[in-house]
Structures are given as C-alpha cells and as structure tokens.
Amino acid sequence: MVVLNWNGLEHLKYCIPSLLKTDYPNYHILFVDNASKDGSVEFVRKNYPEMEILANPQNLGWSGGNNTGIIKGIKAKADYIILLNNDILIDPPWIKFAVETCESDKEIGMLGFEVYGAGEKVPVKEFEEARKKFKKLIVKNTKSIRGLALFVKREVFENIGLIDEVYFAYGEENDIEFRAGLAGYRLVEINVPLWHYCEGSWGKRRWKASYLAIRNTMRLAIKNYNLFDIIKIIGFVWFISSFPFKKIDREDVHRRRLRPSWSFINFWLFLYCLIWNIIHLPETLILRNKDLKKVRKTRKKLKLKDYNILK
C-alpha cells in the first residue's frame, strides 16, 4: 500500500488512522513523501514508528512519487500494489473485497472503488451512510479508474512498465490504465465506498493545476489516440477552456481546472500548453512507440491477438 504525500499533514491525521483499520490479515503501508516541508515525515515517524517511510529528496509528483513505491513493491514481490492519495477514508473490508474480486478472474489487472468526493466535495456523512447501506458486492467493467485509490496486480507494472513521469500530475493514471487495457487486462470498479477530500494537494495551486491538466490532456491524446481523436480532444480542451460563451459547473473540479479564469486568459494558457506539446512531440512519439512494444509483448504473453492502436 503506497500512501503518497506532499505537504499533507492535515490530511494524514485522519487518513492514516483510517487505513490502519483495514480488515485484512496481510498488508504493508509504505509512506512515500515528496519532499514535504510541513513536518509530515516527522509526524509519521513520531506517531507511527512501525510504518515504513520513503522520503524523496524532491517533489516527484504523483507519477514519480508513486513509481518509487511501485519499484519497492515489485522488488518485495507484493501480489498487489495499491496507490493511495493522502486524503482518503476507507471502509475496513476494502482490501478483502478487492483481492476476492481480482482472484476471481485472472484477466483483472486494475481495480477501483466507489469514491465519494472524486470530482466535488462530499460530506463524510454520505460516505458513512454508504458504508452502512452496503450489502452485496457489485463488480462492473470500466475504462477509467480514479488514481486516488488504484488497486493493481504487480504483474501489470512488470509487463507494461511504470507510470509515465512526464505527466507529473493529472492524466498519468489515465495513461497507465489505457496501456493496461490495450495490453489485455480487465479494469473493474467495485461498489465498496471510499471517501476523498477532493483537491487536498492542489486546491491552493490553481494555476499550476490548470496548466498541468490542460497540457496533459493534450499529451494523453497524442500519446495514445489516433489523429482524428487527437484533433477532437484538443478542440474539446479549447472549447472548455477558451470559448467565451461556454459555461461550466464550477463545482466540477475537473472542468474547473480546464477553465481557471476568463476566456481570454485561458486561451493564452491553452496556447502555451499546445506549444509545449508541439515542442515535445518527438519525445512523446518515441515513448508512445516504446509503450506500444510493451503492450504487444504483453498481449503475446497473455496469448491475445495483436491489433493496431490507430484503427
């Protein structure tokens, strides 16, 4: 269990006690800190001396920080690696249900949960009520799992590679999940509830968050989709961010990141992100090809037919 933290002391005070209530006989918490300056590491070391700490010397973002934990999980031969934000509350049997689900079908490679507070702030009370109402496990297929609580079979990372660190934050979970799906792994979501604070790390860095969200949405398309879809997605980003008469739900954190200010300012941010992607196009395409080779190798290993990502 990789708990990624960056200056999240206020969240650790409720998150860690919740994680420690996990009702499962065999799990290990690795606290990965991205060079926090708020005393997070000291807090964990003092209050939870039994917890393993990996303190990165600099902020590696969601992608790089999690990769350091994933590497340790692979070396330790963990059956499953769970990537967690530092601002969640769990339902104690969450791992038990996740393991049961994954072991019921060898094709399942990644699993997500029913998250309260994924795109907008939700009172903890709603999560607690959902816990009480939970009666029967329901498993459904999905193409996208929220990276704040991502349950992954170790072999997935071994076969398709680690998280793309160029993203830093936003879009990187979509990228690794897309690759996993291409490689033949099944992505599912179970109705076990989790609670998320929403914008726990980035709420006070609005412009940085918007820059990364816009830039990475374009990069995700360039790296994974065909030309038609790339044009369509870039056009969509322009429309959401810069079209003067477009109105969005300001409670939706994902749309709000794409439209941080009024349209004139947003257009220049959009243009800056587009130019960044054009400049970095060669290295994006090189990495795209490398990832595709791993995908095809994995499909062959899993005895699945190959196909062209561009079709």
pLDDT in tens, 23-32: 999 999 999 9
- Secondary structure E strands in the chain: 2-5, 30-34, 52-56, 80-84, 88-89, 108-116, 139-141, 149-153, 186-196
pLDDT at 310: 42
Q: pLDDT per residue over 169-216, tens digit each?
A: 899 999 999 999 999 999 999 999 999 997 655 555 678 889 999 999
pLDDT band at 274; cut points 50, 70, 90:
very high
DSSP 60: -
pLDDT at 200: 55
pTM comes to 0.91
Query: Rounded to whole angstroms, what are the CA distances from 48 to 13, 177, 215, 259?
Result: 11, 32, 38, 40
Can you tell me the distance from the alpha carbon of 112 to that of 79, in angstroms, rounded to the nearest whole number?
Answer: 16
Question: Any idea what the Cα angle at residue 141 is, between residues 139 and 147, rounded to 5°?
Answer: 95
Q: List the chain domain ranges.
A: 2-196, 206-279
Least confident of 200-204, 251-255, 262-266, 275-279: 200-204
Please provide the size of the chain in residues: 311
Count of alpha carbons within 13 angstroms of residue 271, beta-carbon side: 7
Fold of 2-196: Spore Coat Polysaccharide Biosynthesis Protein SpsA; Chain A (3.90.550)
Query: Rounded to whole angstroms, what are the CA distances from 177 to 70, 125, 162, 188?
Result: 15, 31, 11, 11
Question: Token match 């459904």: residue?
Answer: 140
Token pair in block for residue 232: 């369509």
Residue 237, amino acid: V
Can you tell me the distance from the alpha carbon of 250 to that of 8, in angstroms, rounded to the nearest whole number?
Answer: 24
pLDDT at 258: 84
| Of 116, 26, 24, nearest in space to 78 by CA | 26
DSSP 302: T
Q: pLDDT per residue over 47-67, tens digit each?
A: 999 999 999 999 999 999 999
- Residue 300: CB atoms within 10 A of its CB come to 13
Q: pLDDT per residue over 111-154, tens digit each?
A: 999 999 987 889 999 999 999 999 999 999 999 999 999 999 99
Q: CA quadruple 6, 12, 17, 19: dihedral positive or negative?
A: negative
Least confident of 83-97, 125-139, 148-162, 251-265: 251-265
pLDDT at 190: 97
| Of 234, 206, 219, nearest in space to 280 by CA | 219
Own/partner pairs for 120-127, CB < 8 Å, 24+ apart? 120/198, 120/251, 120/252, 120/253, 121/197, 121/198, 121/199, 122/195, 122/196, 122/198, 124/89, 124/195, 127/89, 127/193, 127/194, 127/195
pLDDT at 311: 41
Q: What stretch of H or E contains 268? A: helix 263-279
Count of alpha carbons within 13 angstroms of residue 168, beta-carbon side: 14
